[in-house]
Amino acid sequence: MQIKTQEISCVFFLLVDSMRIQNVKRERKIKHLFFRTTNELYEYVNASSRFFDVSNSYLIKERCLSYSFPYICDKELDPESYSQFQNICDGLNSIAFDFNKLYKSTLSTNRLDLIFNDKLFEQYLSRIKSVYDEWRKLFEYFSANHVLDYSAEEKTLEAFHDIFDEYNPSSKKCKRWSIRVSDSFYNLLVSAASSINSSVSQLVLESCMNPSYTALSSVMRNKDFNSLSHSLSNNIRQIHYSLIKLDRRNIECSGGFKIESMFPAFGPLVLIMNEFLESWNSFDDYTGDIEKEMYYTYVKKRNLYKYIEDVLVNNDRDYLKTLRNRENQI
């Protein structure tokens, strides 16, 4: 794929769109927390929020709870595989176009026997079989070589080094920000800070300096791969539906005869397109399972700091369960 890998400016919400969100009652955010900080930390939090494409408030709360942050990046497909995928899509698109053209030609006459013939359908069969064989090879290659598997790597935000390489901790705290939190979250911060002999302000500010994030690289996040997948899916279904429409049209014009009863070569066309559709559905399930595994392992599950867990185990197990799941609002 002639594409340079680019990090998509979005965190895990890309996957949440296709997942089922739990209906958890949101707790009102009635507590206001105010902080004074240095220019460097203020700039760093803003830079981090832009990188993850989340609000400062969400980032601060997330950093207070967990040592890492899931971030989905796209992953490029190797050029040869991309070229093969592109050729398959182009070939099937051409066939879909010709089938649509064939169907339109049947609307201008009732003498479909002058349009349909076994040789015509055999030519279509040969073209589809060629594309289908290439598709099966590519699918087998993807599966056997784990080409579409995601990868997870712990990384450090570049902004951290850019901003803090010459940081002076005693710098004047001339910036001020505030966040709104729920009673439960506020009580958690107070208890957590006390458990590590810290103040709430110090706990929050030090948590915000955490530069770690988990980069989740996935081919399925690549817009060009998704575009080809969408094209292939549409063309398979379009051809499949075109065969149904051609058969219905023949029944209308011939007094109830199906095409296959008049032109035997039509039957294998239907069979191979059924196989193609079934193969595509298997591929869709295969990629979906990979996405779900990544989602449930790294995105949905929030790995809390141990001192946060310890506080909640002793004080509020229900809230602990809530915070372990990123689908729940905090």
pLDDT of residue 9: 34
Average pLDDT per 10 consecutive residues for the chain, totaling 330 residues:
34 38 61 88 94 93 93 92 96 97 95 94 97 97 95 93 78 86 94 95 92 94 94 96 96 93 95 97 96 93 95 94 91
Question: Is this prediction's pTM over 0.75?
Answer: yes
Cα separation, 127 vs 102, whole angstroms: 15
Strands (E), 131-174: 151-156
Question: Which position has the token pair 């070569």?
Answer: 265
pLDDT at 47: 95
Closest CA to 113 of 250, 238, 221: 250
Q: Which pLDDT value is given to residue 30? A: 83
Please give the Cα distance from 74 to 223 (Å, whole number).
Answer: 8
DSSP codes of every residue in 190-251: HHHHHHTT--HHHHHHHHHT--EEEEEEEGGG-HHHHHHHHHHHHHHHHHHHHHHHHHHHHH
pLDDT of residue 166: 73
